């Protein structure tokens, strides 16, 4: 072989060998890179798994917290409902107290020889009774403003049922009763009070809540209890809040079948149901009815 050819052979062999070497080197680099990437993935996986686990824990905590808040919310809601009920109840109590405060306690007092109205007492409001209900329509009669509607209802109901009822007397002031022309010309002493208190039924007229009934046919006081009008009153007046103050055989005053006093529907109904008379009931028990006095 020639020298040139030898040299070429050696060169070619060298190039081939170095090519193989380089390739092997390249392969080795690639393998390293894959291993590194795999490791990186494995690390990332662990990292992500840990993150997921943390998030799951957070979610659990949030759920527990949410349940806690829900429970607290419900507790607060029921507390508010309870307070609202309390407020309503207090409002109701205040309403009753307000009614009691605003209702004149004299309106439910028993009058007797030892307890009678002050001569200066005047009802808080008086209204004229419609002439159609007055026995003598030319006579002007007045009634307590809170009671006039109840009286009108009673009279309308009786007339609807064919009962002839009208009023002969209603509110009477102390001076009208005493027949005193000028209130200023007379000074009343303690002794004279007893003289007036002897007319126990009079105090009730001064309240403006009491009326004397008569029948349209002209029957006056005498024999009133023999009339259908009286029978009707005995069975129905309580529905309109009226009671017979001085029934037959009572021990506190003369029998007055025409004389009816308004005490409120509640008390009148209870007295009727129990078969009791107003003057037989204890004053303390009567006083508990003041809150219902003007109830419709």
- Contact set with Zn ion (CB under 5 A): 201, 212, 259
Shortest distance in whole angstroms from residue 250 CB to Zn ion: 14
Cβ closer to Zn ion: 108 or 170? 170
Cβ closer to Zn ion: 201 or 247? 201
Shortest distance in whole angstroms from residue 83 CB to Zn ion: 52
Token pair recorded at residue 58: 């957070």
Residue 121: how many CB atoms within 10 A of its CB?
15
Cβ closer to Zn ion: 150 or 261? 261
- Please state, in angstroms and as integers, the Cα–Cα distance from residue 38 to each residue in 31, 46, 91, 201, following that order: 10, 12, 77, 115
Q: What is the 3-state secondary structure (H, E, C) of 196-264?
A: HHCCHHHHHHHHCCEEEEECCCCCCCCCHHHCHHHHHHHHHHHHHCEEECCCCCCCCCCCCCCEEEECC
Instruction: Choose among 257, 180, 165, 171: nearest CA to 217.
Output: 165
**Is 129 strand, coil or helix?**
coil
Shortest distance in whole angstroms from residue 243 CB to Zn ion: 13
Shortest distance in whole angstroms from residue 246 CB to Zn ion: 9
Residue closest to Zn ion when measured from CB atoms? 259
- Please state, in angstroms and as integers, the Cα–Cα distance from residue 91 to each residue in 84, 215, 296, following that order: 10, 46, 20
Rounded to an integer, what distance in angstroms lies between the CA atom of residue 237 and that of residue 231? 10
Token pair recorded at residue 134: 């007055």
Cβ closer to Zn ion: 212 or 292? 212
Shortest distance in whole angstroms from residue 224 CB to Zn ion: 11
Shortest distance in whole angstroms from residue 245 CB to Zn ion: 8
Shortest distance in whole angstroms from residue 208 CB to Zn ion: 12
Token pair recorded at residue 264: 């409120």
**Is 191 strand, coil or helix?**
helix
Cβ closer to Zn ion: 151 or 292? 151
Cβ closer to Zn ion: 150 or 292? 150
Cβ closer to Zn ion: 169 or 291? 169
């Amino acid at each position: 072989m020639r020298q040139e050819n030898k040299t070429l052979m050696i060169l070619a062999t060298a190039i081939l060998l170095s090519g193989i070497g380089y390739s092997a080197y390249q392969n080795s680099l690639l393998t390293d890179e894959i291993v590194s990437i795999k490791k990186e993935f494995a690390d990332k996986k662990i990292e992500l798994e840990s993150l997921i686990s943390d998030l799951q824990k957070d979610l659990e905590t949030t759920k527990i917290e949410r349940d806690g808040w829900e429970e607290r919310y419900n507790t607060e809601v029921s507390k508010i409902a309870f307070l609202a009920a309390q407020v309503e109840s207090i409002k109701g109590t205040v309403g009753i107290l307000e009614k009691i405060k605003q209702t004149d306690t004299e309106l439910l007092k028993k009058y007797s020889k030892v307890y009678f109205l002050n001569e200066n007492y005047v009802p808080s409001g008086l209204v004229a009774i419609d002439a159609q209900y007055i026995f003598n329509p030319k006579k002007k009669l007045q009634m307590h403003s809170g009671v006039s509607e109840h009286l009108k209802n009673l009279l309308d109901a009786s007339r609807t049922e064919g009962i002839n009822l009208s009023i002969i007397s209603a509110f009477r002031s102390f001076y009208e009763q005493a027949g005193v022309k000028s209130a200023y010309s007379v000074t009343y002493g303690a002794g004279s009070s007893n003289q007036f208190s002897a007319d126990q039924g009079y105090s009730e007229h001064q309240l403006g809540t009491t009326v004397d009934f008569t029948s349209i046919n002209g029957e006056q006081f005498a024999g009133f209890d023999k009339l259908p009008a009286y029978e009707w009153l005995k069975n129905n007046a309580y529905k309109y809040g009226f009671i017979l103050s001085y029934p037959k055989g009572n021990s506190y005053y003369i029998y007055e079948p025409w004389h009816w006093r308004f005490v409120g529907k509640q008390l009148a109904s209870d007295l009727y149901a129990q078969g009791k008379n107003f003057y037989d009931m204890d004053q303390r028990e009567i006083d508990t009815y003041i809150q219902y006095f003007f109830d419709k």
